[in-house]
Structures are given as structure tokens and as C-alpha cells.
Structure 1
Amino acid sequence: MFKQIKKLLKELSEQPREKNTIDFNTALAALLIEVMRADGKVLEIELIKVTEVLVERCELDDKQVNALITLAQQLVEQAIDLYAFVKQINNNTSDIERIEIVQLLWFVAYADNDIDRYEDHIIRKIAGLLYVSHADFIAAKLAAQ
């Protein structure tokens, strides 16, 4: 019996693991898309804002951004939670950069000049997962206005 368990464990450890397809840019795009979708409406103006943010912050061209948005939308649809996206952000940013990311989320929410309670909720949730304090959360919101 122990031989079978050892054999099983050895086989499992030797199997190639799936490569993590989520990089920083994809994680950021996914969080922006989560905010865009939070109110149940995907408006063109919000999609344009997501594109602008990714072009400016990730230094990508329009073609790369469109591919990134498509990939991020697929990952968001398949995701059970935000953990994989937030983990990537937390692993690759400082406290100040995470506050800036919360501000970027607010930019997307303000794109249609209407903050829905669901948008506010998802940004508040993401900010908590990014370990952004409430004071910095509010400062980012005010700066985005």
C-alpha cells in the first residue's frame, strides 16, 4: 500500500505543471474589466477608458492592448475569484503603486460619469485585497474625480 502511495506521489510530482498565463499586464487588465462589468453594463466609454489606461500604463500599442483585453475578458469569465489577479499585482508592486492601481480602477468607474454601487463595492473589495488603507482608498477616489 505504501509503495502505491509513493508511486502516485512520484508520478504527480513528475507531471509538468501548467504554466501560469497571468502576468502583471493581464492581471491589471482583468481588474479593470471587473470594474467595467461590475454594474452589469459594458459601456463603450468604459472600454475606451480601459484601453487608454492599458496603452498608457503598460506601454503597449493598440493591437497588443486589444489582444490583452480579449485574454483578460476570457480569464475574468472563467475566474472564480480575484485571487490570481490580485496576487500578481501584490507580488509586483509597492504600496504606492497599488494605490495608483486603485486610482486607475476609479478612472474606469468614472468613465461614464456615474458611480454605481456595484462599481464602488468591487473597487473597495479590490483595494482591501491589495492592502490599500481606507484613507488611501478615499484619496485615490478623490484624485480620480
Structure 2
Amino acid sequence: MIDAIQQFFNRTLAAPDKAQDRSLTLELATAALLCEIVRADYRTEPSELEALGVMLQTRFSLSHEAVDELMRLAEREAEQSVDHFQFVRLVNEHYDYDDKVALVELMWRLAYVDSALDPHEEHRIRKLADLLFVRHSDFIRTKLRVQEESGN
């Protein structure tokens, strides 16, 4: 299965002109980055997986079945990935700044699903926000907005 995912990435990264493949690859990259937040505290709660599914379904207008498949692929890709470079690169190439800030906000929402912010989650979000070139002020602003909305 890992070989199939690697071939998928190689195929889509080698031919970025194909709009459908590019959007699917971008969806997978985004989902993999969000999976990193779910996995950051070394505990995967059902509520976090449910929230991730809803986020992906809403963000990409996907069917429930497509979200399930995307989450399985993203989780495997995140587990096998040595670093975040391939995912971050795709997001940096195809998202504008506001989309990146919205992605960081989704990361915060995932971190607060269980009503507690783990230091590992915060560290991972900070690292990814830096790699996505999100300004620190926007990093903090999204954190505070999510904290306020979640009652923390």
C-alpha cells in the first residue's frame, strides 16, 4: 500500500498540470498535515478523528466515502513520512496566504477538540505555521479565536 501511495505522489508531483491530480494531491497533503495535529499528543481520540472528517468534508466538499479514503491515505502518509516537506511544499505552492491561515485555524480547532491543549500539539502547530510562512500574529490570533469559541 505504501508503494501505491508513493507512486501516486510521484505521478502527481511529476505532472502538476493535471488539475484533478493536483487538487487530489493538495487534499492529501492538507489532510496529512491535519493528521499530524491529531497524532501530536500520541493519543488519537475518536472525537478528533470525527472532527477531522468533518473538516475535510467541509473544506473539500467531499462525500463521506471520499473523506474516509482520504483520511486513511493521509494517516498512512503521515506515519511513513520522515518530514513534512512534501506536504508543506504543496500547500505553499497552491494556497494563498489566507488559505494557509485558515489551515492553521483548522489545526487549532483539532487541538482543542478534546478541550485541552497538549504542549506537543501546540509545538507541532507552531512548527507547521512557521513552515507555511504564517505570521506569528496570525498564528496567535487564530489560537485566541479558537480558544474563545471553545470556551478555553
TM-score by length of 2: 0.81
Match of 1:56 in 2: 58
Runs (4 or more) in structure 1 with deviation over 2 Å come to none
Structure 1 residue 19 and structure 2 residue 11: aligned? yes
User: Which one of the candidate residues 103, 116, 119 is aligned to 2:105?
Assistant: 103
Q: CA deviation at 1:142?
A: 1.5
**Residue ranges of structure 1 left out of the alignment (5+ in a row):** 1-17
Match of 2:89 in 1: 87
For residues 65-86 of structure 1, the C-alpha deviation after alignment (integer angstroms, 9 at most, x for no partner) is 0000000011111100000111
Q: CA deviation at 1:51?
A: 0.4
For residues 68-122 of structure 1, the C-alpha deviation after alignment (integer angstroms, 9 at most, x for no partner) is 0000011111100000111111111111110110000011001000100000000
Residues 2-81 of structure 1 aligned to structure 2 (within 5 Å): 18-20=10-12, 23-81=25-83
2: CA distance, partners of 1:36 / 1:20: 26
Between the aligned residues of both structures, percent identity stands at 37
**Alpha carbon RMSD of aligned pairs, Å?**
1.4
For residues 25-45 of structure 1, the C-alpha deviation after alignment (integer angstroms, 9 at most, x for no partner) is 101110111000000000000
**Residue ranges of structure 2 left out of the alignment (5+ in a row):** 1-9, 14-23, 148-152
1: CA distance, partners of 2:25 / 2:45: 26
1: CA distance, partners of 2:82 / 2:116: 27
Q: How many residues align?
A: 129
